Structure 1
Amino acid sequence: MRIGIMIGEVRGPATADTLRQQATGADSLWTAQALGWDALTALTVAAPHAPRATLGTAVVPVRQRHPLTLAGQALSVQAATGNRLTLGVGSGIGVMVGGMFGLPVDRPVAFMREYLAALLPLLHGEPVAAGGEFLTVRGTVAVPGTIPPPVLLAALGPAMLRLAGTAADGAITWLTGARTLESHVVPTVLAAAAGRPTPRMVAGLPVCVTTDVADARSRLADRFGMAAQVPEYRRVLDHEGATGPQDVALIGDEETVARQINRLEETGITEFVAAPSGTETEQHHTTAFLHHLSKQNQAS
């Protein structure tokens, strides 16, 4: 199992220099799309400071990005970074897509199926001419010197997990604990992907290496607590028996966090994406420890 590092706003306010500093020394870099930095742009800014790292978005919401637009953006990142990108996409959190953009949020699986049917050939430089139920796509995208990035799908519910197995290169989760990954996420995607290449399974969680567990849990509850009110995350938190994100985050001393990461590997995921959390000192300590574990895993 690979260990990746999340950089950018999920860890707090981030300048361009912050992105570069957070990227240094990483073997695998990921960014999320929040309310500020564009995830793909943030990766491009950070990439030169981790020249051997793979890059990934976790994830780009697609309701507000036409497939032609996203394909051009993704292939531009490929050209700028030496073809290191994994493109993680998702249908977006309904309350944000509807409330902020005024876009429809119904039938997310049907929408995503139609979206992927256009996006994947566009990433391969193939022309698309489709007028579907949700999208009209007519055109092609070409960026010389690029290869199509793998596409992973943000998925939590069973139908979206099956789509990740049948139409994408794998699945990405956020705030989903080990019990749910093992009993629900991984087996659903693997079953759907039968007969296809083995899917990638990427799971993201906050991590804080600290000796003050109670205080770290309280701060994580404050920072990510709104996720517990979002239906998409509420379902997987309930499945885990968790009150909120602080109950699935990895928190504790180095030995405890290493044990929790080993437990995640047992679930069958192929990559763990850690979002270092806490004070600046805690984040530095957490990141250094995660780099150490990543190098250990690569050597074994």
Structure 2
Amino acid sequence: MKLGYHTGYWSSGPPAGVAEAVIEADRLGFDSVWTAEAYGSDALTPLAWWGAATKNIKLATNIMQMSARTPAAAGMAAITLDHLSGGRFMLGLGASGPQVVEGWYGQPYPRPLARTREYIDIVRKVVARETVEHQGEFFQLPYPGGAGLGKPLKSTVHPLRPEVPIFLAAEGPKNVALAAEIADGWLPLFYSPKVDGFFRAALAEGFGRPGARHTLDDFEVAASVPVLVHDDVEQAADFIRPMLALYIGGMGAKGANFHRDAIARLGYEAECDRIQDLYLAGDKKSAIAAVPTRMVEDLALIGPAAKIRDELPAWEETVITTLLVQGDVNAVRKVAELFS
């Protein structure tokens, strides 16, 4: 299982110590570094800025939100960063959720899977330097109407590679199957060995569709998994609880929170309902306290180094090919030591 470093979301500014951690991850032989965006910082600028100081590590987005850019703009970014990095770029895409898509980007959210299929098709045409024509339900190139002067175009820049790896963020089984069918990799957010069989089945459905690009043997799964080496398990869990409470309670409306659904699938339906109710009522402190330690341990590797090493084999037997971790320079070094 390979290691990747995820820089995480910005808060009021850039995460402290990330630039040094990226350089250290590159030095220690991490396979990849990933940047995120929500509705503040973007994913591309930090990746280029921090990635410019690296030599070998792959540079990737996790995720670039599709509603933030037209598919042509995403393809242009892929060509550009792939050239600047010497062929190290990987494009991680995701649909985000209706609150962000409609509230921040002013785009419609319904039917995200069909929209994703068209989006990736256009991105691949741009990167391959094909003349781009697409008349779909969601995207039309050239645009029908307007000034009436649009014509099919192809990139002025010759790509360094005819393809860049495309990863798709997905949590529900239908979206996971779509990733297996049309993408080169999958970006799960909340994974656990407990649900490995469930997601193997979803992936198998996608691999079995006509025109699927891969099989499980050559498909990448890069999962964000918190890893925290700490002598006290409860104290380690306390660092993870606020993040889980936020995603369960605050990252989506009641009845339309895909993150909450993914965690409930682990057997925490009642716990997720309580956390969500508390969070939406404004009692974030109680919502955080309601996150059980066993939930954290299902979704993360926490505690003393010996405990984490004992738990690693279960993770290595899953479909995960790359473990994405976060933290400062010291955290990066501790994780590298665990996997050495």
- The correspondence of residues 138-177 of structure 1 with structure 2, limited to 5 A, is 138=142, 139-144=153-158, 146-147=160-161, 148-177=163-192
* Alpha-carbon RMSD: 2.3
Q: Distance in 1 between matches of 2:338 and 2:9?
A: 23
Find the residue that maps to 1:30 and give its secondary structure: strand
Deviates more, 1:259-268 or 1:55-64: 259-268
Alignment of 1:240-255 (within 5 A): 240-242=266-268, 243=271, 246-247=296-297, 248-255=299-306
- The 5-angstrom pairing of residues 168-187 of structure 1 reads 168-180=183-195, 182-187=196-201
Counterpart of 2:320 in structure 1 is 269
Q: What's the CA shift for 1:219?
A: 3.1
Measure the CA separation in 1 of the matches of 2:18 and 2:330: 17
Residue type matched to 2:259 in 1? Y
Look up the match of 1:192.
206
2-structure distance, mates of 1:81, 1:45:
11
8 Å CA contact retained: 2:39, 2:104: no
Please list every run of 5 or more consecutive structure 2 residues that lacks an aligned counterpart in the other structure: 143-152, 272-290
User: Any conservation in 2 of the 1:68–1:141 contact (CA below 8 Å)?
Assistant: no
Matched-pair identity in %: 25
Native 8 Å contact 1:68 1:137 kept in 2: no
Of 213, 221, 240 in structure 2, the residue corresponding to residue 201 of structure 1 is: 221
Residue in structure 2 matched with residue 211 of structure 1 by the alignment = 231
Q: 1:140, CA displacement in angstroms?
A: 2.6
Query: Are positions 1:287 and 2:332 aligned together?
Result: yes
Distance 1:216 1:293 in 2: 16
Other-structure match for 1:9: 9
Whole-angstrom distance in 2 between the partners of 1:122 and 1:45: 24
Tell me which residue corresponds to 1:280. none
Secondary structure of 1:55's counterpart equals strand
Alignment of 1:34-183 (within 5 A): 34-138=38-142, 139-144=153-158, 146-147=160-161, 148-180=163-195, 182-183=196-197
CA deviation string 1:93-138 (max 9, x = no partner): 2222122223211111111111112111212111211121111234
How far apart are the structure 1 equivalents of 2:243 and 2:206?
Answer: 35
CA spacing shift, 1:127–1:259, aligned 2, 3 Å: farther
Alpha-carbon contact 2:79-2:159 (below 8 Å) kept: no
SS of match in other structure, 2:69? coil
Q: Which residue of 2 aligns with 1:20?
A: 19
Distance in 2 of aligned mates of 1:257 and 1:12: 32
In 2, the alpha carbon distance for the partners of 1:31 and 1:260 equals 27
TM-score if structure 1 supplies the norm length? 0.86
Bigger share in strand: 1
The alignment covers a number of residue pairs equal to: 287
